[in-house]
Structure formats: structure tokens, C-alpha cells
Amino acid sequence: MSTILCNCEALINSRPLTYVSESEQLVPISPSSFLQGIKEWSTPDLDAIDHKSLNRRIKYRQHFQKKLRNRFRNEYLGLLVQRTKCRDTRKLAVGDIVLVGADNCKRINWPLGRVTDIIPAKDGIVRLVKIQTSHSKLLRPIQR
């Protein structure tokens, strides 16, 4: 039970907070980076136990994690959503750090990028930016 809770806590603490690295790798900081200096948060199973018992424990752990994830989404994340009709958002500036969306991976794994140039449309509204990631330069539309 404590292993399950520790893994869930580590998963929540591994979500990125903000960007602080000045290098080209663009490494985000997370609560776990303050607590431990390593990236891996899983604990290896060192016990020598039989196959059936291990399978039961794995199924129970997966079931418990699924229930905890659903409860977290329904109870906690539902409270964080604030629906407003009109909201003024901060304009992007050169040097801002952004998430570069990708359809083939989860949002938590999206790469970070730095805005290098802002391209306004004919009406003066910024809809397109140039982004430098750790691997390439991209031209992307703004989506909030």
C-alpha cells in the first residue's frame, strides 16, 4: 500500500513547474527535482517472491492506481477548472518558454521551446511564432 502511494506521489511530483535551465537542453524543474536529484521515481522490486503472488500484487497495484487517478481527476482537477467567458491573456514575447504541442505523445512529454521571433498578421494580432527547441527550429501558430 505504501509503495503504491509513494509511486503516485512521485508521479504527481514529477510534473514540470517551470523552466529555469539556460542550456540548450531546456530541462524543466519539478517538485521532485527539489526532493531528489535523480529522474527515476520508480522503486525496484528486490523481494524474491513467487510468480502468482507477484501477479496479484501487480494487478492490485494497477487497479489501485487507476482508481486513485480517476478520483484525482474527478475531485481535484474538477475544482481547478475555472470557466470564464472572456479572459485577457498575457502576450507572448521573444524569449518566453512555451510547450510545443505534439499529437503523438502526452502533454506531459511535450518538448519545451523558446520563442525566437513573433510574426504578426496583417491585422496586427500575433498568430505565428518561431520557436527554438533543443533539437530544431519550428514555425508554429499560437494556441492557448
User: How far is 41 from 6, CA to CA, in rounded Å?
Assistant: 9
**Span 72-118, pLDDT tens digits:** 888 877 777 666 665 556 688 899 999 888 888 888 888 899 999 99
Q: What does the domain layout of the chain look like in residue ranges?
A: 37-88, 96-141
Give the β-pairing of 112-120 and 97-99: antiparallel
User: What's the confidence (pLDDT) of residue 23?
Assistant: 61
User: In terms of pLDDT, which residue wins out, 1 or 136?
Assistant: 136
CB 112 within 8 A of CB 99: yes
**Residue 128 identity:** L
pLDDT for 42 equals: 54
pLDDT digits (tens, 9 = 90+) for 24-80: 666 677 766 666 655 554 555 556 567 787 788 889 989 988 998 888 888 877 777
DSSP codes of every residue in 8-65: HHHHHHTS--EE---STT-PEE-HHHHH-S-S-----------HHHHHHHHHHHHHHH
